[in-house]
Structure 1
Amino acid sequence: MPNGLLLLTDPVTEYKTTGHAFHPAPLRFLKSSTTSTTTTNSTAMARSFSATFVFAISSRYDGLTSYGLAFVVAPTSNLSAANGVMDAAFRDINSNHVGINVNSLISRQAKPAGYYSDENGVFQDLRLNSRQPMQVWVDYNAQARRLNVTLAPIQVRKPRNPLLSEVIDLSAVTTDKMYVGFSASAGLSIGTHHYVLGWSFSLDGPAPPLDFSKLPSLPRLGPKPRPKILDAVLPLVTTSLVIVVLAAVFFFLWHRRRFTEVREYWEEEFGPYRFTYKDLFHATEGFSDRNLLGVGGFGRVYRGVLSVSNLEVAVKRVSHDSKQGVREFIAEVVSIGRLRHRNLAQLLGYCRRKGELLLVYDYMENGSLDKYLYNENKPTLHWAERYQIIKGVASSLLYLHEEWEKIVIHRDIKASNVLLDRQMNGRLGDFGLARLYDHGTVSKTTHVVGTMGYLAPEIIRTGKATPLTDVFAFGVFLLEVACGCRPIGSSKNNTEIVLVDWVLEHHRNVSILDTVDPRLMGNFNIEEVTLVLKLGLLCSYPSPSARPSMRKVMQYLDRGESIPDMPPTYVSYSTIAMMQNEGFDSYIMSCTPSNSTVSGKSSVTVLQEGR
């Protein structure tokens, strides 16, 4: 424009909705000058660079969003075939965010637009299409292989903490000669303008600071100033307008309080995993009862549909005392969100309000497994379906215990926490009690958490959760699926029945098949059922050292290895509880083939740790 303003889009008509502008000459981005300009040389190292620019997005209509503006480093200045959108297919978090994209429309990382105040660390929201100039800093450190992106209003100097920070080696995606510039698209937003007021760029050093006094002014948008004759008329309607304004202010404050969240400075690194309460509220229709999926000991679960992506989710509301390790808990929630296994229900993220946490999971169409085991209105699961579910859950536990970067102890394995997808595959879910620790170290859990009937004897006494306490719960789960019975039930004369003891008794009487779920009506694979029942007893063995690892369990289920015979020293769960109550701890220690002390109680208070 005549005053030096760079206008990328001027969509008065549909023919000017996109625009690109580049520095006319390409710049050398690799240290090796012999690198081809058409192919990427992974042995050459990308150079550090720094860019800063001031931009503004102006729309004739408030609230109307555009596709946005991008700072671009590309091997060509011809982007005629390029297009960008805010679309659920590309996993955009919302229509007001900043992202880092590398050879893809799916962002490697994205966060809501804003910045962290240097004074108090509080996150300050910014609206990108506010018609106000904003400054962006893009800094790549080649030695650290880190790309930082920082955003702030022009009256605020560069914040110390960047909005986005991504570890990435640009040597693998850059050629020797690259073009640097900007791209913008208004999409369907007629009347939206994208401006660059000024920018600077440097290789191997910081970009020169911009002199704001020399930046061009943005053109005025909107109607011309009103005639002075109106100055005499306006006071006449002031009184009535005051009432309207007060009502609007009251509504604004009520609306803001309604969706208030707790957001602290340390949550900045967890931004991509954070959902807004407002989005979850609308997704679940205000957490209405008609969207209630279930009520458990640790919260209510609601079905929801996110409006932006049309993604079905399950939202679990959990009470939480903010003083009880919330920072560590959120860190673990986010870590668990990085788990990827076909038999795990994906934990997508979280939201935090005062005294409350909301955990967001993938929605499973067929609900939880326990409904098919105990609800007469549900169809009976065939044995082949049950065996497939068992193998799927076992595979997910092997991944959690041994194959992921950390050891994950689930601590609440049971049929109600196994979810069934559209193809009736079992997916282990509800990681609200899970704990993580590094391989080669020892778990530091100290509270008894979980569900009665699935708790290993040693955890009741020590509170220490280990992979082998998960194995115990998995053993009870195996018996639950094969027998169609709850871990603790009652007989016709109201006598308490412990499932593990009942199956053990039939095993000793050589009548173990009599424990199989009668609803199967004998239609099952005898070898598989026998394997599952014996494996359930072996996994729920009172002594932890005698239980198999999940790797061994998978070998047994895949029929790659024969399951060993039950040790003759197998002490029933009820016997352990009775002996514990009578003070025979030392006798229990000598009876079990392990140096570990095991104990049990006829009743125990199950605590909820840090929730």
Structure 2
Amino acid sequence: MDDNHVGIDINSLHSNASVSAGYYTQVGSSKQNLTLKSGKLIQAWIDYDSVENVMNVTIAPTSKRPTSPLLSFHVDLSPFLQEFMYVGFSASTGHVLASSHILGWSFKINGQAQALDLSSLPSFPRPPKKDRTLTVGVSVSSAVVIIALSIAIYVIIKIKNAEVIEDWELEIGPQRYSYRELKQATNGFSDKNLLGWGGFGRVYKGTLGNSNTQVAVKRVSHDSTQGLREFVSEISSIGRLRHRNLVQLLGWCRRRGDLLLVYDFMANGSLDKFLFDDPKSILNWDQRFRIIKGVASGLLYLHEGYEQIAIHRDVKASNVLLDDELNARLGDFGLARLYEHGSNPGTSRIVGTMGYIAPELPKTGKATTNSDVYAFGALLLEVACGRRPVDLKALPEELVLVDWVLEKFTQGKVLDVVDTRLNGQYDEGEMMVVLKLGLICSNDVPAERPSMRQLVRYLDGEVDLPENLMPPAAFDGGAEGFDAFVHSFSTSSSSPSLDKMSSYPFLENGNLGTS
């Protein structure tokens, strides 16, 4: 309802009941407003009466409990309660940096929960300057209740004008822009200029005043996992790359906590907006096939055409950008790694997005050209099928895209997976090549995946796809018309299943964490 409310949510993000934050000093008195983001200690009481099936929620800025609850809701919690359950706390901060603290909580079944002794609670964390912190104390009585406190706190940070240039910044290639110039170009980073956002921050459309050149300015968020290390990596890698199918980095800016990158402006945004979630415009097959070949050409340059081997490590539809003629350019090199030709890549923290991560990465920690090929295979399938590599909304048998495509392939019905929005208007030979290569690239065994040079030749039609490179049959007997399979390919899921993924401690919200 607003950014300052209390709600009761049951198995949903939509509140069953909600009311603006406040409290009553006495029965019949008017409600006193309470600002959740004030930074002051707030105490909460959650009571559930299992006889009357009523949940009461009360909050107050002091340890003295108000006489009347702020919110009452009639609900039978018995269908949701188990004999053993977990009580947890979570917090949401919106788009900006904030912090929330649970200093203490008390719980009781059948009776009054023990009062919190504020003097014995941990000391209040001293917030940084310009930060705002909310601290909550909680008392829970009666039956077991799972508590989730979601607090949106917005922080206004004043802009400081000083720009300090360190020695290492002078050694980086692309042009260094002033913060003032980029602020003016984006109309003060106005929401009207916002092109998109993600885990790494926001991207704004801008126009450079001295040349009227349209650019895209990526402003790395303060609480982003992409810190100074990734920022410098993106500058040092993409800044020296030159290829028609790579997004060109024009320049950059670092100003204290603000990290900004300036790119060529891509008029049609990212590829995922044309494939998923009811796109406004549907790409025809010729456009899709040209995009696929463009990405392949860009990856070939990264792997073989540059003075070092560049591993992108985050190939996916949202990182494929389209210019005004729908030509594909691979972007976002914040996770890229470079190493010398003939040398072995070192281990590093596991990064990437669920569905695109090669199965060997969690085991070895080494990103290679083969792991980029695996992600490219996922991209091939999603462009052909118009589906995400892992679609939680899909039918169980269609949950993992590569498994579904392989199953249809072995049944001799692989064209059943083609995006229905193409209305059957596509070159069947090209489609079969794309689907087969998508499966081959998804091989569990890295050495069995083709190189990007081989893939480019197959896609360009320079050579035909050999019979012995076809995917395996998932079941005994093989698929009709495809008997000469190479059985060295794994017949298990090429993408980690959800059960397997849950065992990876570094998975966070579909993306791999930074630890």
Q: Distance in 2 between matches of 1:323 and 1:449?
A: 11
Question: What is the distance in 1 between the residues matched to 2:352 and 2:239?
Answer: 21
- 1:260 deviates by 2.9
Q: Which amino acid aligns with 1:519?
A: R
State the Cα distance separating 1:490 from its structure 2 match.
3.3
Q: How does 1:369-518 map to 2 (within 5 A)?
A: 369-490=271-392, 497-518=399-420
Secondary structure of the 1:302 match is strand
* Count of equivalent residues: 340
Say whether residues 1:604 and 2:502 are aligned partners.
Answer: no
Matched, 1:534 2:453: no
Q: Which residue of 2 aligns with 1:350?
A: 252
Q: How far 1:482 sits from its partner (Å)?
A: 0.3
Question: What CA distance in whole angstroms lies between the structure 2 residues aligned with 1:328 and 1:452?
Answer: 20
The amino acid across from 2:187 in the alignment is E
Question: Aligned partners of 1:389 and 1:446: how far apart in 2?
Answer: 30
1:360 partner SS: strand
Structure 1 residue 349 displacement after superposition? 2.1
Cα separation, 1, equivalents of 2:427 and 2:312? 30
Secondary structure, aligned partner of 1:489 = coil
AA matched with 2:374: F
Give the residue type in structure 2 aligned to 1:604. L
Report the counterpart of residue 570 of structure 1 in structure 2.
489
Deviation, 1:542, is 0.9
**Which AA in structure 2 matches 1:570?**
F
Distance in 2 between residues matched to 1:373 and 1:509, nearest whole Å? 26
Match of 1:304? 206
Counterpart for residue 235 of structure 1: none
Deviations 1:256-285, CA, capped at 9 Å, x for gaps? 963333421221223752111111111111
Report if aligned partners of 1:344, 1:429 keep a CA contact under 8 Å in 2: yes
Structure 2: how far apart are the matches of 1:504 and 1:322? Answer: 37
> What amino acid is the match of 1:446?
S
Root mean square deviation, CA, Å:
3.1
Correspondence 1:295 to 2:214: no
Q: Deviation digits for residues 203-236 of structure 1, max 9, x if unmatched? A: xxxxxxxxxxxxxxxxxxxxxxxxxxxxxxxxxx
Q: List per-residue Cα deviations over 1:139-185 (Å, max 9, x = no partner).
A: xxxxxxxxxxxxxxxxxxxxxxxxxxxxxxxxxxxxxxxxxxxxxxx
Q: 1:323 to 1:269 in 2, by over 3 A?
A: farther
In structure 2, runs of 5+ residues without a counterpart are 1-157, 472-485
297-306 or 371-380, which deviates more: 371-380
**By how many angstroms is 1:331 displaced?**
5.9
Aligned to 1:314: 216
- State the 1:496 CA deviation: 6.9
Q: Which residue of structure 1 lines up, in the alignment, with residue 453 of structure 2?
A: 551
Distance 2:193 2:201 in 1: 14
If the length of structure 1 is used for normalisation, what is the TM-score?
Answer: 0.52
Name which of 188, 193, 206 aligns with 1:286: 188
**After superposition, where does 1:213-362 map in structure 2 within 5 Å?**
258-270=160-172, 272-319=174-221, 326=228, 330=232, 333-362=235-264
**Shift, 1:435, TM fit:** 1.3
Query: Unaligned stretches of 5+ in structure 1?
Result: 1-255, 583-598
Work out the CA distance in 1 between the residues paired with 2:179 and 2:434: 43
Distance 2:226 2:424 in 1: 50
Percent identity between matched residues is 56
Q: Could you say which residue in structure 1 is the equivalent of 2:40? A: none
Deviation at 1:608, TM superposition (A): 5.5
Letter in 2 for 1:400: L
Inter-CA distance 400–600: structure 2 relative to 1 (3 Å threshold): farther
- How far, CA to CA, are the matches of 1:471 and 1:478 in structure 2? 10
